[in-house]
A and B are shown apart, each in its own frame.
Chain A
């Protein structure tokens, strides 16, 4: 596997790529050779080449420009989903695990209700209720993504609160909030960070899936590009191929990053996964 130095080096490489991608997606729209929303019916369904390096779609819009313009919404939507899910899930998990008793029972039953439905089905239902739009798509996916963090954090809090240093802090007269923030959260954050990075790729596919179904962004977004190009798959495969490739490559990068973060922060988890 390359040893601890190798895994750290891998993490550094993937993290650099990830940061580069984030920065690139911020400026990508400016690099686009054409206006991503400009409809040029005379140029519809043009094969890759010339003024349109990746061809045009059924409305004559430049696919390369749309991929670039869609990068920020697709990538940052995934990041926002993970951040919202992580913050909400951790807060709920910590409170539930530390308070225990009735509060824990109620919170966990709510989590059970959310987990009773397949995540994407619940997201589709929520997005359907909220209406189309990227913001609503993000909210729909965050509304179902927080539960995994809540369960994870709670389980760590349950074991950590029995630790001697937590008991000592309690005897020392520290408040519950102080113990949560100063002693429990820092120790529970590692597995949460690992889950967060692994969740990135799922969020990416989730937002693309909702866009594909017409429940998220209607402007240049990779999932909606796939949906719009689907009926042209035989005549103009490039209308589907390149957005799909963009989703594929970014998802792969997110997965590799997640694996590296896990290898570094939680090596035992990685071993367990291999054994499974």
Chain B
């Protein structure tokens, strides 16, 4: 009986070990790279998901951003613009082919732009192409009006170059010049990509790439921990702790131009008062927001644009105060904000100071709003947070006091569109109804300025003016990160989310 029991226990142990061993063998092949990311249509003209093609290494653009958001030539050998700023001459690199073997010449690029502009209004509106002439590898583009930011716009995913002669059964252009060719796409689930050995920069290091979409962020973290994924983008900020500095894993992160900020309703009693706005700014603990609320994935900032760019830097924000609750309390008291009735809420001219904060669900925003409301309560301000699906409608209606909001400031590497929309009188995203004629004049000058140095100078002047009155309160720029196994090479987070898989991406 005793022998039987021992044998049974031994068998059970052996079975358990076998099962464990089976689990351990569930590894990804080294020539296949498995990446957790969004999946979607790779066609650059497809609109909302235009960046998928570029992120997955299927599609490339003529120009691309470097790590400091400067525009660099990519498929381009040389380019120039005429003196009147209307005609651009672009010479393409030799030897670039699409993944079906067709040559990528000026005619193919012209056809690609024509198709995208016909299908996507934003591309047409920003590129402003009037006509194109193709001659071998030389493409001449004439614009409808001077467009200083044309190379910037040609970095945008909608400017991805595709072979329009080879559309798939649904009419999508899926053949690009990138290192990987799309072979299968299962909506909301996965994409299968094969290496394209004729890639112009060299043979891709991985033979196959699988992109897996896992909608639940915590499940994505577990998949990477378990080894089902080699790397993953878009994890929750709390998940950084599971991979940053943990044996077997590493992360790559970069400061993006997405700014987390507060904008004020300038038409409301308290938030229309510059002194009150300054006191609110003094309640913002930028360092801790960036370190705790997004778990270190933030870079504290006072300026609108990242300090690494030519347009940003905290020297532009001399009048923007540091975190100082005591100072804020004193400032409010000096300016007639006092708790006369002893109910814990300060009043101004007999009116209790209460603020309606609106925000939406993007990671870090509800937390920032709660932290701000808690700090404002310590100043005796009755602040309440309302989390909405989207704040734009309420912003336009003006039914709020301040909004905690996040926005990409350099979508094309250039400050004009953000400043035009946010800071110009009547701008489409100027929900706070901020207005300054001096700022408007500088923005109008920026619209037509071709000189890069002068553009940067104008952007800095505008930001200095806007920040001087604490008209907005920038809190931190978001760092995006990719978590990966420590054996992964050639996968780097860029300041824009356009580039993930490259020809060098592989597992050692």
On whether the two chains bind one another, the answer is yes
Q: Is B293 an interface residue (CB 8 A)?
A: yes
Return B481 CB to nearest CB of chain A, in Å.
15
Q: Is the CB of A231 within 8 A of B218?
A: yes
Q: Is B374 an interface residue (CB 8 A)?
A: yes
Q: Which residues from chain B contact A59 at a C-beta distance below 8 Å? A: 292-293, 367, 370-371
- Secondary structure at chain B's binding surface: helix, strand, loop or mixed? helix
Q: Is the CB of B218 within 8 A of A233?
A: yes
Q: Is B307 an interface residue (CB 8 A)?
A: no
Instruction: Please encode chain A, from 208 to 229, with 1 for each CB lying within 8 Å of some chain B CB and 0 for all others.
Output: 0000001000100000000000
Q: Is the CB of A39 within 8 A of B375?
A: yes
Q: Is the CB of A39 within 8 A of B371?
A: yes
Q: Is the CB of A231 within 8 A of B217?
A: yes
Q: Which interface residue of A38, A41, A214 has the most chain B CB atoms within 10 A?
A: A41
Instruction: Give the docked Cα–Cα distance between A84 and B291 (Å).
Output: 45
Q: Is the CB of B387 within 8 A of A132?
A: yes
Q: Is the CB of A230 within 8 A of B374?
A: no
Return B185 CB to nearest CB of chain A, in Å.
29
Q: Which residues from chain A contact B331 at a C-beta distance below 8 Å? A: none
Return A110 CB to nearest CB of chain B, in Å.
30
Q: Is the CB of A235 within 8 A of B387?
A: no
Q: How large is the interface on B (under 10, 10 to 19, 20 to 34, 35 or more residues)?
A: 20 to 34
Q: Is B89 an interface residue (CB 8 A)?
A: no
Q: Is A113 an interface residue (CB 8 A)?
A: no
Q: Which residues from chain A contact B285 at a C-beta distance below 8 Å? A: 41
Q: Is B189 an interface residue (CB 8 A)?
A: no
Q: Is the CB of B374 within 8 A of A58?
A: no
Q: Which residues from chain B contact A41 at a C-beta distance below 8 Å? A: 285, 288-289, 291-293, 371
Instruction: Give the docked Cα–Cα distance between A39 and B289 (Å).
Output: 11
How many chain A residues touch B (CB < 8 A): the figure is 18
Instruction: Please encode chain A, from 144 to 158, with 1 for each CB lying within 8 Å of some chain B CB and 0 for all others.
Output: 000000000000000
Q: Which of A191-247 contact B (CB under 8 A)?
A: 214, 218, 230-235
Instruction: Give the docked Cα–Cα distance between A38 and B376 (Å).
Output: 11
B218's partner among A60, A214, A230 (CB-CB below 8 A) is A230
B238's partner among A42, A132, A231 (CB-CB below 8 A) is A231
Q: Is B81 an interface residue (CB 8 A)?
A: no
Q: Which residues from chain B contact A218 at a C-beta distance below 8 Å? A: 366, 385, 387
Whether A37 contacts B374 in the complex (CB less than 8 A), given A42-B288, A44-B292, comes out as yes
Q: Is B241 an interface residue (CB 8 A)?
A: yes
Instruction: Give the docked Cα–Cα distance between A218 and B218 (Å).
Output: 21
Q: Which residues from chain A contact B289 at a C-beta distance below 8 Å? A: 41
Q: Which residues from chain A contact B371 at a C-beta distance below 8 Å? A: 39, 41, 59
Q: Which residues from chain A contact B236 at a C-beta distance below 8 Å? A: 231
A235's partner among B217, B242, B291 (CB-CB below 8 A) is B242
Q: Is the CB of B241 within 8 A of A235?
A: yes
Which A residue's beta carbon lies closest to that of B222? A234
Q: Is B248 an interface residue (CB 8 A)?
A: no
Which A residue's beta carbon lies closest to that of B239? A231
Which B residue's beta carbon lies closest to that of A236? B238
Q: Is B95 an interface residue (CB 8 A)?
A: no
Q: Is the CB of A38 within 8 A of B374?
A: yes
Return A42 CB to nearest CB of chain B, in Å.
7
Instruction: Give the docked Cα–Cα distance between A220 and B268 (Å).
Output: 30
Instruction: Please encode chain B, from 342 to 378, with 1 for each CB lying within 8 Å of some chain A CB and 0 for all others.
Output: 0000000000000000000100001100110111010
Q: Is the CB of A235 within 8 A of B238?
A: yes
Instruction: Give the docked Cα–Cα distance between A132 and B377 (Å).
Output: 23
Return A216 CB to nearest CB of chain B, in Å.
12
Q: Is the CB of B238 within 8 A of A58?
A: yes
Instruction: Give the docked Cα–Cα distance between A236 and B441 (Å).
Output: 52
Q: Which of A1-47 contact B (CB under 8 A)?
A: 37-39, 41-42, 44
Instruction: Please encode chain B, from 311 to 341, with 1 for each CB lying within 8 Å of some chain A CB and 0 for all others.
Output: 0000000000000000000000000000000
Instruction: Give the docked Cα–Cα distance between A60 and B289 (Å).
Output: 12
Instruction: Please encode chain B, from 210 to 223, with 1 for each CB lying within 8 Å of some chain A CB and 0 for all others.
Output: 00000001100100
Q: Which residues from chain A contact B385 at a C-beta distance below 8 Å? A: 218
**Lowest 4 A-B CB distances belong to which pairs?**
A39-B374, A41-B288, A231-B238, A41-B292
Where the two chains meet, the residues of A that have a C-beta atom closer than 8 Å to any C-beta of B are 37-39, 41-42, 44, 58-60, 132, 214, 218, 230-235
The 20 listed contacts between A and B (C-beta, < 8 Å) are A37-B374, A37-B377, A39-B371, A41-B285, A42-B288, A58-B238, A58-B292, A58-B293, A59-B293, A59-B367, A59-B371, A60-B292, A132-B387, A214-B361, A218-B366, A230-B218, A231-B217, A231-B238, A231-B239, A235-B242
- Beyond the given pairs A41-B285, A42-B288, A231-B236, 4 more chain A to chain B contacts, judged by CB atoms under 8 angstroms and listed by A's residue number, are A218-B385, A231-B217, A231-B218, A235-B238
